[in-house]
Structure 1
Amino acid sequence: MRISRRAFAAAAVAVLLPLSACGSGGGGGGSSDASGKVEGDITFQTWNLRANFKPYFEGLIAEFEKKHPGTKVKWVDQPAEGYADKISADAAGGTLPDVVNVSPDLVAPLAKAGLALDLDKAAPQYEKEYLPGAWAGHRIPGMTGTYAFPWYLNTGPLFYNKTLFKEAGLDPEQPPKTYDELFSAGLKMAEKSGGKVATLANVPTIEDFGRYGVQLMNKQGTAFSFNDDKGVRLLAKYKELYDAKALDPQALTATPESSGKKFLTGAVAMNPGSALDLGNFKKQAPSLYKNIGITDQVTSTGHVNMYVMGVMVNSQSKRKPAAVAFAHFVTDAAHQMSFAKKVAIFPSTAGSLDDPYFTKEDGSDETRVRVAAAKSLKTAVNYTPVLFSEQMKIALRNEVAKALQGKQSPKEALDNAVKECDRLLQQQG
């Protein structure tokens, strides 16, 4: 069984998450019974975390073993390179660790293969401890159940240039919140600047379709559906922006780095970012820094996008009570808060985002961004379908580019994208 690795790091580039961790782990098959004494030896696998977080994880394991005498946790940290292949080999060879750090796309094929423990059956008492959107992050379309404990979350607010908004006759204290407001502001800014200032530097992704309210897949998880009327309308609006130069002409080939430079120089009015970006603005563009606005991601659903990581239990584990107990221990509120203070991530546990650490600013760039992001995460959802692979992302981007360039209509582009994504989906199965 081959697992496509859709890198969580790629999704989080905009927020520069200084942490790379993905994994896999068992679930749908085997006995779902996780009751019994917490004892025995288990293996916990992470991805490229030892170098930066060795003391944290060693302390975590020692604390668990002290709490549960008779347990022993072996921590295995694999290098990032080739990790997805390692997971595939372990899954095929029956050597998957007891507890593994996962992203939703990595847990999906394991759940389908019956290797990921269904927590809704094995440990339903824990669901209330987590944010609803986070707990739902490791559910698989077409299957019942939840296949990993939510671990850390991330999201990215939008930066905007108040000076450019003011020059275009827009209220710098009222940035666009919905896509309709964004399209209106973008066209006005392009017109006022004679096409010299674009509002956006990136083409729409699957997350944009989700935030616009498009149903991305059917409920069975067997086909994509983002080519519906609402999806076509979104792409048509982006085409209108592109023609008016409200969408940067180089958006078709943009990278997070190139988009950031456009924002830095005042050629683009809005861009996702992080506290690190604010520090760069302070040094490289002090006039921009003084006039920077921070707002939520644009969304027409009322919910921003979140990136979620999880901790999965191998359904074939011979020490299931210990494996479930440890996976919960890693992701409980106290330990998530402890981890969040070591790295720029957010806890997925209910109530944690109300902690002063996430609600009170101290004047620093870090807290400005942290507070803004934490506020939006409380009701955030993971829009990217867990079955949406890197190849599918490329297919969508290629068809979107053709539509923006006028080589085909928005309807034709999305029909072709859905057709290709459905073909790739069948290959996954």
Structure 2
Amino acid sequence: MPKPRRALAAAVVALVLPLSACGSGGDGGGSTDASGKVEGDITFQTWNLRANFKPYFDGLIADFEKKYPGTRVKWVDQPAEGYPDKLSADAGGGTLPDVVNVSPDLVAPLAKAGLVLDLDKAAGKYRSEYLDGAWASHQVPGMSGTYAFPWYLNTGPLFYNKALFTKAGLNPGRPPKTYDELFADALQMAKKSGGQVATLANVPTFEDFGRYGVTLMNRQGTAFAFNDTKGVELLTRYKELYDAKALDPQALTATPESSGKKFLTGAVAMNPGSALDLDNFKKNAPSLYRNIGITDQITSTGHVNMYVMGVMVNSRTKHTPAAVAFAHFVTDAQNQMSFAKKVAIFPSTAGSLNDPYFTKEDGTDETRVRIAAAKSLKNAVNYTPVLFSDQMKTALRNEVAKALQGKESPKQALDNAVNAADRLLQQG
């Protein structure tokens, strides 16, 4: 189950924009009217879910077909690797399925190409069933409309190593709650350990700038703005950490996997994660598990970052009522709740996070993490704009690296990253 942070390359937009027809219907386009009879054959595509959840989806489809006699749903599942390329090929070849599992950044180029049904128009009556932040996550700057039903959400806490905090003279029962506290604790950790223990393992990402309160884009969605005063301030503070070895020296090339290993081995004192990580700590790092601390994401905005998956409807489907009905069925409160109890994800439907499953403590760390995450998701946001592509992420990371290494000032690095992102945005 991938995190929703993968984007179509800019070339995909160029590929799909000229298309005049697409979809399982094959020849010419469908209707945007979802009010007709729910009937017909549709295809539903998921993203790397069959291996672990086949019984769930088989049951889901059977329930839908029972509810709507005369429908038939063909389920196809694609591997995580190359999924954006697969969507691109389907769009270009006229074989885009009727209902498709997407993340916000994947839906944006398809929406721009006119290949995605606007749910504000076709299914606006369902909007109140979902959390506001989740519904808004599949909106595209510069376009009116919403282009996917929100499906499952995820977020997670910060884990920290209490033993390392104690060795550094920090209170293991009082982890940092603000950025000022985080940076102060990190510098103390590095000093006390002689530069052997870093507090953080990753350079700041786009979502980190968002959590810090940086203005990310202009309101029109036509230009990026993360080189503002607060953006420069954040990168300057990370440069201070890097120089003091409070930021891991290998952070410039770190991946989530490598950062996780650093945390497991005690080379890094804090790392973001989810409830899924606790079992890994228990099995592979029992000494860490005995000393694990759990705290909230640090944010200046009061809103944690939300990862979100969605379910879009192909605007060219020949069976719009059935496709919309099935996309809604997959993401309704009952089915999302059922799915959430099979894996550590969270429903995007309004009210679901008040269920005892997400509110009632049972004394375990797993439940504690789940309850804390559910509470934070009620007003969480997806900080990464749907228009921020993989190429833009690479440009930002490269410029951040230059700033940390002292090759450019933080201001110059962010100016360069914004200019590169704006150029890519114009090309798209």
Aligned partner of 2:73 in structure 1 is: 73
Aligned partner of 1:20 in structure 2 is: none
- Indicate how the Cα distance of structure 1 residues 282 and 317 shifts in structure 2: closer, same or farther if over 3 A, else same: closer
Q: Are residue 377 (structure 1) and residue 351 (structure 2) matched?
A: no
Counterpart residue identity of residue 211, structure 2: R
Q: Are residue 235 (structure 1) and residue 201 (structure 2) matched?
A: no
Q: Following TM superposition, by how much is the alpha carbon of 1:365 offset from its aligned partner in structure 2, in angstroms?
A: 4.3
Distance 1:78 1:164 in 2: 42
TM-score under structure 2 normalisation? 0.89
Aligned partner of 1:324 in structure 2 is: 324
Aligned partner of 1:260 in structure 2 is: 260
1:162, 1:172 within 8 Å by CA — same for their partners in 2? yes
1:25, 1:101 within 8 Å by CA — same for their partners in 2? no
Aligned partner of 1:221 in structure 2 is: 221
Aligned partner of 1:281 in structure 2 is: 281
Q: Following TM superposition, by how much is the alpha carbon of 1:31 offset from its aligned partner in structure 2, in angstroms?
A: 4.9
Aligned partner of 1:106 in structure 2 is: 106
Show CA shifts across 1:310-359 (max 9, x none). Answer: 01111222211111111100000100011111222111111111222222
2:31, 2:318 within 8 Å by CA — same for their partners in 1? no
Equivalent runs, 1:6-405 vs 2, <5 Å: 8-9=2-3, 11=5, 31-405=31-405
Provide the secondary structure at the position in 2 that maps to 1:151: strand
Q: Following TM superposition, by how much is the alpha carbon of 1:49 offset from its aligned partner in structure 2, in angstroms?
A: 2.4
Q: When the two structures are aligned, how many residues end up with a matched partner?
A: 409
Counterpart residue identity of residue 305, structure 1: N
Between 1:206-215 and 1:368-377, the stretch displaced more is: 368-377
2:60, 2:330 within 8 Å by CA — same for their partners in 1? yes
Provide the secondary structure at the position in 1 that maps to 2:56: helix
- Indicate how the Cα distance of structure 1 residues 174 and 119 shifts in structure 2: closer, same or farther if over 3 A, else same: same
Between 1:98-107 and 1:355-364, the stretch displaced more is: 355-364
2:30, 2:318 within 8 Å by CA — same for their partners in 1? no
Show CA shifts across 1:195-228 (max 9, x none). Answer: 3332111110011001111121122222211111
Distance 1:97 1:285 in 2: 43
Unmatched runs of 5 consecutive residues or more in structure 2: 7-21
2:65, 2:73 within 8 Å by CA — same for their partners in 1? yes
- Indicate how the Cα distance of structure 1 residues 152 and 284 shifts in structure 2: closer, same or farther if over 3 A, else same: closer
Distance 1:118 1:202 in 2: 37
Distance 2:75 2:260 in 1: 38
- Indicate how the Cα distance of structure 1 residues 200 and 99 shifts in structure 2: closer, same or farther if over 3 A, else same: same
Q: Following TM superposition, by how much is the alpha carbon of 1:372 offset from its aligned partner in structure 2, in angstroms?
A: 2.6
Provide the secondary structure at the position in 1 that maps to 2:127: helix
Unmatched runs of 5 consecutive residues or more in structure 1: 1-6, 13-23
Between 1:187-196 and 1:122-131, the stretch displaced more is: 187-196
Between 1:277-286 and 1:307-316, the stretch displaced more is: 277-286
Provide the secondary structure at the position in 1 that maps to 2:137: helix
TM-score under structure 1 normalisation? 0.89
Q: Following TM superposition, by how much is the alpha carbon of 1:10 offset from its aligned partner in structure 2, in angstroms?
A: 7.5
1:25, 1:100 within 8 Å by CA — same for their partners in 2? no
- Indicate how the Cα distance of structure 1 residues 200 and 182 shifts in structure 2: closer, same or farther if over 3 A, else same: same
Counterpart residue identity of residue 174, structure 2: Q
Q: Following TM superposition, by how much is the alpha carbon of 1:241 offset from its aligned partner in structure 2, in angstroms?
A: 1.1
2:5, 2:105 within 8 Å by CA — same for their partners in 1? no
Show CA shifts across 1:101-139 (max 9, x none). Answer: 111111101111111111111111111111111111101
Counterpart residue identity of residue 72, structure 1: R
Show CA shifts across 1:224-263 (max 9, x none). Answer: 1111111111100101111122112221122223322332
Distance 2:283 2:51 in 1: 30
Between 1:398-407 and 1:215-224, the stretch displaced more is: 215-224
Distance 1:241 1:78 in 2: 41
Provide the secondary structure at the position in 1 that maps to 2:41: strand
- Indicate how the Cα distance of structure 1 residues 408 and 280 shifts in structure 2: closer, same or farther if over 3 A, else same: same
Between 1:93-102 and 1:232-241, the stretch displaced more is: 93-102
For the aligned residue pairs, the C-alpha RMSD in angstroms reads 2.3
- Indicate how the Cα distance of structure 1 residues 327 and 244 shifts in structure 2: closer, same or farther if over 3 A, else same: same
1:294, 1:372 within 8 Å by CA — same for their partners in 2? no
Distance 2:51 2:192 in 1: 50
1:25, 1:116 within 8 Å by CA — same for their partners in 2? no
Identity over aligned residues, as a percent?
84
